[in-house]
Structures are given as structure tokens and as C-alpha cells.
Amino acid sequence: MQEPTAPSTNPDPYLLLTGPTRAVVVCDPVYLEAVLRVKGSTESEDEDLSFFTVPLTDVNRPRETCLITREYTSKLSTLELTFGYVVRSVEATIKARIVDGSWPEEDGSSARFTACTSSLKHNGVLLLDSGDKRRKMRVDADGVVGLSRRVVSVEFEGELEVSVVTFDGSNICSKMEAEIRFVPEEVGESCVELDVGFCKMEITVAWSCLSLSCR
């Protein structure tokens, strides 16, 4: 599995993953590959930072949903990887679409979308952080928000929590927060309308069973 990351301008050491695009099922060995490079002024001046491939197997797999953190050392660096092990899960594909109003054109307007399975409430997956005025949120002609990531795994017997925080660039104090919950399904779609002040969004979740039983 190889996924690109967003360019890092944040001083913290965490990288923003833009994938995977499907849920990862640990039934056969899954290989995690990391290729990190320090960007130079030209591609030929890029420097290697980390390169490794490790297998992730279902041996001694946890019986309950949890976070697992491991460190992997390569020749030039040590990388800490944290991933969520979600038991008896379904795949949730999330779409956000503006259905009433419009996204403000003022500089500084931004949004942050996160999602999580309810048992990992404080460890949400970042779907989008549009950042400040230098990174305007992408909205297409149909009002669909360009999420950086759309897929999360959710416990079938739990809930999917989707959180949206918006900032209106015309007023630094204008902050809207909203959270919605979905009861997982094996198939089909769930849809909820969300009011974020200057516009209304329709959050749609498409449910899919994984190759292993969710029950």
C-alpha cells in the first residue's frame, strides 16, 4: 500500500495521509510501504529520509477496536506509525455537497472535516482541512466538496461520527461547529443535512460490507 501525503508546512512531525481510498482488510498480510523524501529546490536535489516495507498480519489480532502504534527504523530515520484496528467493521464512503447557499469567497474562509468510529472518538480521521486563505476549499459546479480523504472503517455495532468546523474569513470570531452521527448499514446510503451558518451541506454516507463478515 503506497499513498501520497500532502506537503508539510506544519511544524509538528505528523504527516497528512491522503489515502487509502478503500478500507484495508487484514486477512492476508498487508504490506505497508513508506517512501519519504526531503524536497529540494529541484527534483534531482531531493534527499532520501525514510524507505521501508513491512508486513501487517492478522496474527494475534485484537478482539476489540483499538489504536496500535509502532516504530519503524530505516537507515536514515525512525518513523512512528499509528493505525486504528476496527473490528467487525463496514466501509463508509463520505460525500459532502453544498445544497443551499454558497461557500464564502472572502479570504480566510476555511473548513475542517473529520470522521471516526464512535469507540475511537478522540482519534478522528482527517477528511479535509482547507487551511487558511492560501488553500481555498475546492467545491465543484455541483456543490460537491473536494475532500482529501473519503473512506473510513466503522464498527457495525457502533456509530459513525462526522464533524465539521467552519471559519468565516470575514469575521475571525465566526466559527461554526456541527457533529452528526450515522448508524452503520451493511449496504445502501444514509443522508443528513447539516447547517453550517453561511450554507447548508448534505452529508451522504455509502455503506459497503468488507470481505470479512461485519457481524
Look at residue 134 and tell me whether its pLDDT is greater than 50.
Answer: no
Number of domains forming the structure of the chain: 2
pLDDT at 3: 45
* Angle formed at CA 175 by CA 5 and CA 7, multiple of 5 degrees: 15
Contact (Cβ atoms closer than 8 angstroms) between residue 48 and residue 68: no
Tell me, yes or no, whether 139 and 65 share the same domain: no
Full domain range(s) for residue 65:
30-37+45-85
Is residue 94 domain-resident? yes
Do 117 and 205 fall into the same domain?
A: yes
pLDDT bracket for residue 8 (50, 70, 90): very low
Q: Per residue in 35-82, pLDDT tens? A: 888 888 888 888 888 888 888 776 567 888 988 888 888 778 888 888
Tell me: pLDDT of 169 over 80. Answer: no
Is residue 74 domain-shared with residue 98, that is, in the same domain? no
Query: Residues 162, 80: one domain?
Result: no
Among the listed residues 85, 80, 98, the one whose alpha carbon sits nearest the alpha carbon of residue 15 = 80
Is the pLDDT higher at 115 or at 53? 115
Domain assignment present for residue 142? The answer is: yes
Closest CA to 116 of 172, 180, 32, 54: 180
Neighbouring C-alpha atoms within 13 Å toward the C-beta of 46: 11
Residue 23 in any domain: the answer is no
Domain harbouring 123, CATH code: 2.60.40.1110
Q: Is residue 188 part of a domain?
A: yes
For residue 7, tell me if it sits in a domain. no
Say whether both 132 and 70 belong to one domain. Answer: no
Q: What is the mean pLDDT of residues 181-195?
A: 94
